[in-house]
Structure 1
Amino acid sequence: MKEVYAPFIPGTYNENNLDELSVLLEKGKKYAIDNLLWSDTGYFPSVSFSIAHTGDGIALKYFVKEQHTSATYKTVNDPVYKDSCVEFFISFGDGQYYNLEFNALGTALVGFGEDRHGRTPVPDDRVSSIKALSNINWAENTDGFNTWDLTLLVPFDVFIYHDIKTLNGTTSQANFFKCGDDLPQPHFISWSNIDSPVPDFHLSQFFGTIKFI
């Protein structure tokens, strides 16, 4: 089973100093999202992430290089998976998990449940508390590659079905993804490989492990 290690970053972060957190994540260990699934086109965006935790949330930074980038959805819990989208699914050990999905602008969609069917949306006000810092560099022509990064701070309050005060010293199950359902070249890429004949990120038996240290 794949593992990532999420170190503790001291300090308090919000929209006013998220750039400082972004720099710290930039310096951290990067993990590749490099399992190209359910595709034979050869199109393979380059994606990696770094992860940490703070006193009140999970910090993530995604790094993406791709030819086609779309960022149209701007309202909380919109279908951002149709845009250029990075995703983070996490379970705290009870067989259910949260799906957190973000387009290149940082617009977020969050749900909760035990599989892909009948997921319960996390209320908009909780999802709106996620802090995001987006940086998109557009290619000079359509044949070039866009690069973008996205820094995220997910407060523990977003995980409304769990009373999380700290993650220090704990272990969770998770997977990380890149997709874009409505892009000119749709794709599905995962960190921990998924053995399924049909596209489905919602298979928690293939989650890897996060150790919060």
Structure 2
Amino acid sequence: MSSLHIPYRQIALDNFTYDALSQQMKGLPWQPIMQVNWEEFPYKPEVYFQVAHDNQRIFIHYSVQEEFLKAQYVRINEAVWEDSCVEFFVSFDGNVSYYNIEFNILGTGLIGVGSRIKKERTRLDPEVIAKIQSTTTVVNAGGRKKWNIILVIPTDVFVNDKIECLGGITAHGNFYKCGDGLPTPHFLSWNKIEHATPNFHLPDFFGEIQFQ
């Protein structure tokens, strides 16, 4: 099982641009999302992320380089996993329940919460999901598309957990890159998944996450 220590860092949001936020995250280690878990989907774009917290918010900076980009969904809780999409699944109660936080290249978000049993999962209200701020960039160079997104996730979105301070919490989770509706579908993870078919909703394969 992979483990991740998320450092504390104060990041100002008064100038909410990609350049301003990425500069403040400079120096944080980059973590790879490189596990190809299913042989029938071998395509592996280059995907890395940085992550930090300020006790009340989680900051995730994804960097993606891939052959194709797709950005169809513009409304909250639409099927963003079919677009160029990055995801963060996290549990604060020992994997009894977890949140799936999914964002496409446009910054369109989807969040579900509940147990691993599908009928027990629900989507959060759009007003709650809209509390997550995002900023993105896209560069097309030499036939390779590179895009970045920074997510600012306040603890308010973890509606089933009363989190007053992230510091000192040990959680479990996984980070993903997917694109179900792209010409080359792919399903990459940070922590390895051992399952017969593509499925990210498997908390048994979450890694340990410690908020410093």
TM above 0.5: yes
Change (3 A) 1:15 1:39: farther
Q: Which residue number in structure 1 is paired with residue 2 of structure 2?
A: 2
After TM superposition, the structure 1 = structure 2 runs for residues 138-153 of structure 1, keeping only pairs within 5 Å, are 138-139=140-141, 144-153=143-152
Do the aligned partners of residues 91 and 139 (structure 1) sit closer, same or farther apart at CA in structure 2, a change above 3 Å counting?
Answer: same
Partner of 1:154: 153
Q: Which runs of 5+ in 2 are unaligned?
A: none
Unaligned runs of 5+ in 1: none
1:13 equivalent to 2:21? Answer no
- Residue 126 of structure 2 is matched in structure 1 by 124
SS of aligned partner of 2:49: strand
1:128-163 residue CA offsets vs partner (Å, 9 max, x unmatched):
1100010011245xxx21001100100111111111
**1:72-151 equivalence runs, <5 A:** 72-94=72-94, 95-115=96-116, 117-118=118-119, 119-139=121-141, 144-151=143-150
Aligned partner letter, 1:167 = L
The two structures, once aligned, show a CA RMSD in angstroms of 1.7
Q: Deviations over 1:38-72 (max 9, x none)?
A: 24454210101111111421110001010011112
Q: 1:170 to 1:97 in 2, by over 3 A?
A: same
- Residue matched to 1:27: 27
**Distance change (3 Å), C-alpha of 1:201 and 1:21:** same
* Count of equivalent residues: 210
For the residues of structure 1 that align with 2:168 and 2:29, how far apart are their CA atoms?
18
Letter in 1 for 2:47: V
Where does residue 60 of structure 1 map in the other structure? 60
Aligned to 1:186: 185
Match of 2:69?
Answer: 69
Greater mean deviation of Cα atoms: 81-90 or 14-23 = 14-23
Identity in percent:
38
Q: CA 1:27–1:156 in structure 2 vs 1: closer, same or farther (change >3 Å)?
A: same
Contact 1:10 / 1:55 at 8 angstroms: preserved in 2?
Answer: no
Report the AA paired with residue 49 of structure 2. Answer: F
After TM superposition, give the deviation of residue 15 of structure 1 in Å: 6.7
Distance 1:18 1:48 in 2: 16
Question: CA separation in 1, counterparts of 2:18 and 2:165?
Answer: 20
Deviations 1:73-120 (A, max 9, x none): 111111100000100000002410000001011111000011151221
DSSP-derived class of the 2:153 partner: strand
| Mapped contact 2:174–2:191 kept (Cα < 8 A) | yes
Work out whether residues 81 and 179 of structure 2, in 8 Å CA contact, stay in contact via their aligned partners in 1.
yes
